[in-house]
Structure 1
Amino acid sequence: MPILAFLRDNAPWLTAGVLLTFLSSFGQTFFISIFAGHIREAFELSHGQWGGIYTLGTTASALVMVWAGGLTDHFRVRVLAPIILVLLGFACLSMALNPVWWGLILVIFALRFTGQGMTSHIAVVAMSRWFIATRGKALSVATLGFAVGEALLPLGFVALMAIYDWRLLWGAAALIAILGIPLILLLLRQERTPQSWAQSDQSLGMEGRHWTRRQTLTHFLFWFMIPALLGPAAFVTAFFFHQVHFAEIKAVEHVELVAMFPIYTVVSILAMMASGWALDRFGTPRLIPFMQIPMIAAFLIFAVAQTPLSVLAGFLFMGLTTGFNTTLPNAFWAEFYGTGRLGSIKAMAAAVMVFGSAIGPGITGLGIDLGLGLETQYMIVAIYFVFTTIMMMIGVSRARPLLAFSA
């Protein structure tokens, strides 16, 4: 189907996906971290203490996601999404009103669970269910909301912080989240009938069947993918979490660093759209083992960069993997494990990624406090992504013959 016809015929459902992924920004690290300096100052926290609070709150949200993510197997998007957006609005308001440092643990839990966790989870599970033959296109379009959020919100809110108090801006974020509810209800007045609920072999996974969560947990491929799931979540999160400190050690103004985000976003959008097209043409198994190779280059560059231009080069490579990572893993679960219990299976993967985003800032923050500089840490991170790439190559090559049963 031509892309324009695809967009026209599926506009309400794709727009709902874009809106949900955009609103998830308020629980994403790239947004929370722009307030890091103000939060640490207001509550008198070190890098390690702030990272530890973030780790505790995010880890708790990962644990709850294992259960809550399965709700997408039982409730339609137009029912579940408004409830989550109400909770996201309250989480943003809590950040604006919280008076004590220990309250940050609860606030971070609420933001990460409702924003990064459930809002984005609902969107990608819906796209994977609603579309089969065009799953790659649907995911690449719907997840544009992530890219739009990354491009506009940090730059806009950093600029606004020069005028308004940072707590007031969290109140504005709460209002935006709540305003998303009537839009979602309007777009999903007639919710798309999931193609994957039909008795079609195309929606089956390995061995020609729908896998349960228990079966997935005992299958070797899931464990070969764990390092790759953890990596971007942990270390891209850590990069954005410590962006203020990174700007300081690179002698770059924070606003100058944030001004690079839209370029990074454009690259990630292009990579996301290209991977969506390639996914529908070539399938996940041929593509996913190579998606984190650009991340190796990105963190090597961040480690040695001495000029704003070289930092920008790192963003370009990180943008490639960010774009690939938006579509390929989400399609991977549907293609290898089927769509019958996709919500429960994807919830496990989401919990792993949320846990990764929990430990990344905590580990790197502790490293900074102990004297292990970010530049040295980023060299180690690059080596880690070499490891994840090798693991994916081995795991996917072993599992790929099992897909023949569902062909």
Structure 2
Amino acid sequence: MNYLQLFKYNQRLIIFGFLLNFFSSFGQTYVHAQFVPSFINDFQLTNTQFGLIYAVATLAGAFSLMYFGKFIDQIDLKNYVLIVTGVLIIACLVILSAQNFWFLGFGIFLNRLTGQGLLTHISLTSMARYFNKMRGKALSFAVLGHSGGQAVFPILMAFLVSWLGWREAIGIEIILILFILIPFIFYVFKKPIKIVEKIKEVKAEEDPKNETSEEISFEKSWKRREVFRDTRFFLFVFSAFSLHFLVTGFHFFQVDIALSKGWSANWIAVCFIAYAFARASSSIFTGILIDKFSGIKLTPFFLIPLMAGLITMIFFDHYLIAFPYLIGMAISTGMMASINSAVLAELYGVKTLGAIRGMYGTFVIASTSLAPFIMGYLIDSGFDFNFIMTIALISLGIASLLNVKLWKDSEKAITVP
């Protein structure tokens, strides 16, 4: 079954996954960045003070995800996603009405937990759980929501902030959630979800006597403490932590990187068009590879494009080098976005995938909160970007070797005991 056929026969769930990732943008750094100057000005904060507030809120959201993420395994999916969406609206209201930095920080915490954390968590967990043979393609469809959000919301929010003000812009976020996302959630669950992964299943799906396409085979449950004792989990987490840490840090200091190379800040922004296209294309192609080979078999390779991009940045300064650098980064992040949930499902099954993915997400989000501070400290200490990228290259090489071990260890073990 190709992408078009998969979408045709499973469009409600596919669009559901896409939209959750799309609206998770309201909790992502690339949208929050549009409000930062206004926050600093209105609440009379320094860059360091706001950075600390943002880091603490993000870390709190990361560790909360480990607890709240497990409820997707225990609560009806419709009720769970409506609760999360409702809390996201509350988060926006808290930020919108905040009169001091305490309420601002609390609002950002709720926003990061529900937006960046739980909406993405629900989307990718649902795709990995409901689909089996077409899991890779389904995850790729859902991940495109991130690319769509990156293309639409930063520009939209920047325009609204400059035109109406930051409080009004956040108010429009609430309106979009209320009139687009929530109605579609009710539409998705107005009747039972049926999954079709083969053309010949279409007739079976339409036959009320045949419920095969509705069934989901749940394997033996893995408890979180069992996963913590499994070295394969941490082999994979190290590569995920490394990738998200480095990508977040390099995005955060992208203007400084451009200036260190003698490029203009506008040039690096223009090159992000290529980044968005490459990331989306990478996700789609990776979905095909996952369905053909498995996610685990791809883990030794997904960091290689970013490593190649860093090598070009270390040895060359020409402004066109921005393209292989950002495209390499985009390919790796696009592959990772599709691979991560597939790997966790292949290793541990889908029955407790929500709890396991919540643990995984905690490490990922924690890395995004630490990156600006650690990388900023290195810069303030006098280390140049070539040195930082060399260290990054070494860490990615180690992560790739650990992923080879993950692959080999997984071949020796039964995938789902």
> More displaced, 389-398 or 64-73?
389-398
Cα 1:260–1:155, aligned 2, differ >3 Å: closer, same or farther?
farther
1:37–1:244 CA contact under 8 A, matched in 2 = no
One-letter amino acid of the counterpart of residue 89, structure 1: I
One-letter amino acid of the counterpart of residue 406, structure 2: G
Asked if 1:118 corresponds to 2:129, the answer is no
Please give the per-residue CA displacement for 1:14-62, whole angstroms capped at 9, x wherever unaligned.
Answer: 0011000100011112222233344344445555443332221111111
Aligned to 1:363: 374
Match of 1:231 among 232, 235, 242: 242
1:211–1:341 CA contact under 8 A, matched in 2 = yes
Task: Give the TM-score normalised by the residue count of structure 2.
Answer: 0.87
Aligned to 1:165: 165
One-letter amino acid of the counterpart of residue 177, structure 1: I
Asked if 1:279 corresponds to 2:293, the answer is no
2:73–2:354 CA contact under 8 A, matched in 1 = yes
- Could you tell me how far apart the structure 1 residues matched to 2:367 and 2:15 are? 29
One-letter amino acid of the counterpart of residue 367, structure 2: G
- Could you tell me how far apart the structure 1 residues matched to 2:250 and 2:213 are? 37
Please give the secondary structure, in 2, of the residue aligned with 1:99: coil
Structure number with the bigger relative contact order (C-alpha 8 A, sep ≥ 6) is 1
> More displaced, 241-250 or 71-80?
241-250
Matches within 5 A, 1:259-298: 259-298=270-309
2:346–2:415 CA contact under 8 A, matched in 1 = no
Asked if 1:334 corresponds to 2:334, the answer is no
Asked if 1:7 corresponds to 2:18, the answer is no
- Could you tell me how far apart the structure 2 residues matched to 1:101 and 1:405 are? 47
Aligned to 2:269: 258
Q: 1:316: Cα distance to partner?
A: 0.6
Aligned to 1:323: 334
Match of 1:387 among 384, 398, 408: 398
Q: 1:374: Cα distance to partner?
A: 4.7
2:348–2:416 CA contact under 8 A, matched in 1 = no
- Could you tell me how far apart the structure 2 residues matched to 1:38 and 1:266 are? 30
Question: Which 5+ residue runs of structure 2 have no aligned equivalent?
Answer: 196-211
> More displaced, 68-77 or 105-114?
105-114
Aligned to 1:67: 67
One-letter amino acid of the counterpart of residue 190, structure 1: K
- Could you tell me how far apart the structure 2 residues matched to 1:246 and 1:131 are? 41
Aligned to 2:190: 189
- Could you tell me how far apart the structure 2 residues matched to 1:246 and 1:262 are? 18
- Could you tell me how far apart the structure 2 residues matched to 1:403 and 1:105 are? 45
Please give the secondary structure, in 2, of the residue aligned with 1:34: coil
1:272–1:323 CA contact under 8 A, matched in 2 = yes
Please give the secondary structure, in 1, of the residue aligned with 2:222: coil
- Could you tell me how far apart the structure 2 residues matched to 1:376 and 1:85 are? 42
Number of aligned positions between the proteins: 400
2:134–2:291 CA contact under 8 A, matched in 1 = yes
> More displaced, 101-110 or 4-13?
101-110
Aligned to 2:320: 309
What RMSD over aligned residues (CA atoms) do the two structures have, in Å? 2.6
- Could you tell me how far apart the structure 1 residues matched to 2:309 and 2:111 are? 28
Larger Rg: 2
Identity %: 27
1:221–1:395 CA contact under 8 A, matched in 2 = yes
Aligned to 2:88: 88
1:14–1:142 CA contact under 8 A, matched in 2 = yes
Q: 1:146: Cα distance to partner?
A: 0.7
